[in-house]
Amino acid sequence: MLQTQNYISEHKERFLDQLMELLRIPSISADSAYNKDVASCAEALAVDLKRIGLDNVEICPTDGHPIVYGEKIIDPNLPTVLVYGHYDVQPADPIDLWTNPPFEPIIKKTDLHPSGAIFARGACDDKGQMYMHVKAVEAMIAKQELPCNVKMMIEGEEEVGSENLAVFVENEKERLSADIILVSDTGMLANDVPSITTGLRGLSYVEVELTGPNRDLHSGLYGGCVANPINILCSMIDSLQDENQKMTIPGFYDDVEILSAEERAEMAKAPFSHEAYCKSIDIQDTHGEKGYSTPERGSIRPTLDVNGIWGGYTGEGAKTVIASKAYAKISMRLVPNQDPDKITKLFCDHFQAIAPKGVSVKVTPHHGGEPAVTPVDSVGYLAASDAYQKSFGVKPIPVRSGGSIPIVAMFEKELGLKTVLMGFGLDSDAIHSPDEHYGLFNYYKGIETIPYFYESFAKRMK
Ligand code: BES
Ligand code: MN
Ligand code: MN
């Protein structure tokens, strides 16, 4: 891979310019006002895949945003790597909290990124990470050092639940046949502590609507006499967790995978600083389920969070009113063996059951996703470990992540393939938040590490 690595260092500047161009396109999948931008992002990517030498490049239409596909089959007898990533991004709002406009990428230094980071929506999640693969494959093709077949499938709907990708995968099993799936859409512990993600949490997401009286009421005339849906919603939500932050929904923990003391001890070896954690987000202390460490609470334990809550008067000044309705969006992160549909049903039944007579409850489920775990003794994991060892000079640590990529479990079910999660982002990169960024070190390290994965994977599959 010497020629490939030389090619990468010779073309560093262009690789960065090209990523910046991609980041200028506001490919926000959730907001239909940006549909044209999502489409032009897919087109720009397809142009790139053709330019680097992939064959059968296609913008595959779906009922939603298109999937960009391309492949390089050098020898049907060689192993095949299927790369997955997403070119869609989260909405940029609240836009006024960005230091620079979200779709005008700029490079700035930070404490954790002393050699600079690209600030833009999608810089880390996932354009920057997805594009590392495009550039790494470009380099291997250019230098004729590609040791495996490669297929690339980049979708435009990851941030909205990948529903149409699931249909595509079901229908295109032949085209997508491969030996391993390779994804860079997660993170690592620190730039000098590389890690490989071995688990993703699942997700159950519901929206609740409480209705009290048939109209908004004067809070003096009616206050104290009727159930105020906002008050009730707050106490119902509060009751979902007890004083030890355990969920009170009956059956919620029934299927939760329990890790052995050895497994937990192994996990605890990964470096973690409580102080640095608190300092990085300006809090005095952490908060969570009794009996578990912060890294455990954020990875191997299920959680419940209100993502939004609204109702009543929120304008200027005071208005004395009891609103007829109150709303909340609630997410539950799930761990191995928990089934999102089952959890959603348990939530619905429980939330109905705890509502007082004075209100009625409507629960609407949104898209969810299954958890996933990847074994550390698979060929794919070992090849990734070799690759990090080569590029970072140290052995990567396996770490379970708290985030979700629902399609990963689906890949395993439909294609029978394991996924290797080679993520290069940091938790502090502010994905989904204002001032999202991605370190230049991380971008280039990713491009450098990926060819080593191909090399080791090809060798190990012989
Ligand atoms: N790339 C993230 C998931 C992620 C980030 C996993 C960091 C591990 C570490 C992905 O784009 C994402 O945001 N997923 C959503 C779920 C999806 C259904 C909207 C999530 O985790 O909230
Ligand atoms: Mn992502
Ligand atoms: Mn995301």
Q: If we measure between CA atoms, which residue out of 81, 80, 101, 138 comes closest to residue 23?
A: 101
Position 136 pLDDT exceeds 90: yes
Helix (H) or strand (E) holding 218: strand 217-218
pLDDT tens readout for residues 437-446:
999 999 999 9
Average pLDDT of the chain to the nearest whole number: 97
Q: Rounded CA gap, 330 and 205, in Å? A: 6
Tell me: cis bond preceding 365? Omega within 30 of 0 counts: no
The alpha carbon of 217 and the centre of ligand 1 are apart by a number of angstroms equal to 41
**pLDDT number for residue 367:** 84
**pLDDT number for residue 344:** 98
Express as a percent the part of the chain with pLDDT over 90.
100
Q: Rounded CA gap, 126 and 218, in Å? A: 49
Position 59 pLDDT exceeds 90: yes
**pLDDT number for residue 295:** 97
> How far is the first Cα of the chain from the last one, in angstroms, to the nearest whole number?
18
Q: How many CB atoms lie within 10 A of CB 258?
A: 10
187 lines ligand 1 (CB under 6 A): yes
**pLDDT number for residue 240:** 98
Position 182 pLDDT exceeds 90: yes
Instruction: Using DSSP, state whether 177 is helix, strand or coil.
Output: coil
295 lines ligand 1 (CB under 6 A): no
Query: What does each C-alpha distance from 119 to 66, 424, 436 come to in angstroms?
Result: 26, 16, 6
Atom of ligand 1 nearest to the CA of 201: 21
The alpha carbon of 112 and the centre of ligand 1 are apart by a number of angstroms equal to 22
403 lines ligand 1 (CB under 6 A): yes
Question: 94 burial class (0-12, 13-18, 19+ CB within 10 angstroms)?
Answer: exposed
Query: pLDDT band at 430, cuts 50/70/90?
Result: very high
**pLDDT number for residue 327:** 98
Name the token pair of 276.
Answer: 């640095």
368 lines ligand 1 (CB under 6 A): no
Q: Pocket of ligand 1, candidates 203, 404, 420, 433: which has the most ligand atoms within 8 Å of its Cβ, to mutate?
A: 404
Please, what's the b/e burial string for 4-32 (b: 16 or more CB within 10 A of its CB; e: otherwise)? bbebbeebeeebbebbbebbebbbbbeee
302 lines ligand 1 (CB under 6 A): no
Q: Rounded CA gap, 20 and 87, in Å? A: 13
pLDDT tens readout for residues 242-260:
999 999 999 999 999 999 9
Query: What does each C-alpha distance from 13 to 136, 322, 423, 440, 454 come to in angstroms?
Result: 14, 59, 22, 11, 24
Q: Pocket of ligand 1, candidates 88, 185, 205, 419: which has the most ligand atoms within 8 Å of its Cβ, to mutate?
A: 185
Q: Which ligand is nearest to the CA of 404?
A: 1
Q: Rounded CA gap, 184 and 423, in Å? A: 4
Yes or no: say if 442 and 195 are a contact pair by the CB < 8 Å rule.
no
Of 68-72, 312-316, 364-368, give the lowest mean pLDDT range.
364-368
pLDDT tens readout for residues 334-363:
999 999 999 999 999 999 999 999 999 999
Helix (H) or strand (E) holding 84: strand 80-86
Nearest-5° angle of CA 55, CA 58, CA 59? Answer: 155
The alpha carbon of 232 and the centre of ligand 1 are apart by a number of angstroms equal to 31
Please, what's the b/e burial string for 58-85 (b: 16 or more CB within 10 A of its CB; e: otherwise)? ebbebebbbbbbbbbeeeeebbbbbbbb
pLDDT tens readout for residues 377-411:
999 999 999 999 999 999 999 999 999 999 999 99
Q: Does domain 202-256+302-369 have CATH number 3.30.70.360?
A: yes
Query: pLDDT band at 126, cuts 50/70/90?
Result: very high
Q: Domains of the chain: which residue ranges?
A: 2-200+371-460, 202-256+302-369
Q: How many H helices and E strands in the chain?
A: 13, 18
Give the residue, by CA position, lying nearest to ligand 1 atom 16. 404
Q: Rounded CA gap, 153 and 85, in Å? A: 7
Q: Which ligand is nearest to the CA of 87?
A: 2
404 lines ligand 1 (CB under 6 A): yes
Query: pLDDT band at 1, cuts 50/70/90?
Result: confident
Query: What does each C-alpha distance from 401 to 34, 55, 105, 177, 189 come to in angstroms?
Result: 30, 34, 27, 27, 10
**pLDDT number for residue 145:** 98
Arithmetic mean of pLDDT, 89-97? 97
Q: Hey, what amino acid is at 208? A: V
Q: Hey, what amino acid is at 334? A: L
Position 76 pLDDT exceeds 90: yes
Stated pTM of the model: 0.95
Name the token pair of 231.
Answer: 């008050």
The CATH number given to 2-200+371-460 is 3.40.630.10
Arithmetic mean of pLDDT, 443-461? 98
Nearest-5° angle of CA 83, CA 89, CA 95? Answer: 160
199 lines ligand 1 (CB under 6 A): no
Position 451 pLDDT exceeds 90: yes
Arithmetic mean of pLDDT, 151-176? 97
Residue with token string 């790369």:
83
